Amino acid sequence: MRRARLLLLPLAALLGACNRTADTFQPRIVITSPEGGGVSQARNFVVKGYVLDDHGVKDLTVEGRPVPLQGGTPKLANFVFQTQIQGSRGEYTIRARDAAGNESTLRLPVSVDGTNPVIKVTRFERERNVIRVTGVATDDTRVAQILVDGNRLNVTPGARVDFYAETTGIYADIEVRDAAGNVTRLRARQ
Tell me the per-residue pLDDT of 96-142, one tens digit each, with 9 for 90 and over.
999 888 999 999 988 888 899 999 999 999 998 899 999 999 999 89
Q: Decide if 146 contacts 160 (C-beta within 8 A).
A: no
Residue 24's pLDDT band (cuts 50, 70, 90): confident
Give the CB-side neighbour count of residue 119, counting CA atoms within 13 A: 24
Q: Which residues contact 5 (CB under 8 A, 6 or more apart)?
A: none
Residue 5's pLDDT band (cuts 50, 70, 90): low
Q: Is 126 helix (H, G, I), strand (E, B) or coil?
A: strand
Q: Decide if 185 contacts 116 (C-beta within 8 A).
A: no
Q: What is the pLDDT of residue 45?
A: 86
Tell me the whole-structure pTM to 2 decimals.
0.66
Q: What is the pLDDT of residue 73?
A: 81
